[in-house]
Structure 1
Amino acid sequence: MGKEQVLTAEELHFLGIKVVYKDMIDKGYKVLNVRKELDVNPQILATKDDKRYFVVVRTATYPDMGLLLPHIAAEVMKHGNKHKAICYFASVGIANANGQTDEEMAQPIKDGEYYINYKGLQLFPTY
């Protein structure tokens, strides 16, 4: 793979957020705010049809998908309930499209080409 730089955790996270943001805009959501920090939840605040949405985005590298941890879900759900918001989770998986092996595919590089695994917004699970 040469001298390419692998995406940092922050860059990977932000790439996942951009995937979800574009999908939401395409589906008619009005995005009010985006937070790209790893330790801030939710990442996306949006409205659609007079309803408020909180979206937690998690991104992982091939072959994994982003995971929503129960304590994060509980925090965001509590905050969402206060603001009468519907809470969604967006799981994103990113692979290096130029990787020839599983190991190379698991290392997306800066300014590279990617395969994106994203199945849309999912309502928060109930625990």
Structure 2
Amino acid sequence: MKNELDKQELHNLAMNIVGEDLEKQGFEFLGIKSELKSNPQFVALKNKKLHFVIVRAITYPEDPKEYDHIFMKSMKEHALKFNASTFYAGVGLANSTNYEKPISREEDYIVNYDGIQEI
């Protein structure tokens, strides 16, 4: 399908979903990195506490709550140098008409996102 979203576009979609959620929760953004492989995606303050948020776009049938424990451990060690908390935000995305089909610009999609989880 030629109008299929690529990895960066799926990542941007996940970033928007998580960004809106963080805003609603009262986070103040200090830094945002939307390029793939740039981590953490969000550096934010809430209640004077620094938070590092790692965002991943996860396509069906993968589980958005599952994450790379080794990578997240290294991110947590990095965050601790800044006295920051580390969070993972997995955003599950699927084509709404057929979960097996890729996500495209022409069709609606379904979001499976339960908020950020502390590491």
Fold conserved between structures, TM > 0.5: yes
Aligned match of 1:41? 39
- The change in CA–CA distance for 1:65 and 1:14 in structure 2 (over 3 A counts) is farther
% identity of equivalent residues: 32
**2:73 aligned with 1:78:** no
- Which structure 1 residue ranges, 4+ long, deviate > 6 Å from structure 2? none
2:70 counterpart letter in structure 1: H
Of residues 84, 109, 114, the one that matches 1:119 is 114
Determine if contact 2:3/2:106 at 8 Å carries over to the other structure. no
- The change in CA–CA distance for 1:70 and 1:39 in structure 2 (over 3 A counts) is same
Structure 1 position 111, deviation (Å): 5.8
Q: Distance in 2 between matches of 1:44 and 1:68?
A: 17
**2:52 aligned with 1:54:** yes
1:14 counterpart letter in structure 2: N
Q: Distance in 1 between matches of 2:13 and 2:63?
A: 13
- Taking only aligned residues, the RMSD between alpha carbons, in angstroms, comes to 1.6
Deviations 1:12-53 (A, max 9, x none): 111111100000001111111111122111111100110000
- Number of equivalences: 118
Which range moves more in the overlay, 56-65 or 88-97?
56-65
Secondary structure at the counterpart of residue 100 of structure 2: helix
Secondary structure at the counterpart of residue 102 of structure 1: coil
TM-score, normalised via structure 1 length:
0.84
Unaligned 5+ residue runs, structure 1? none
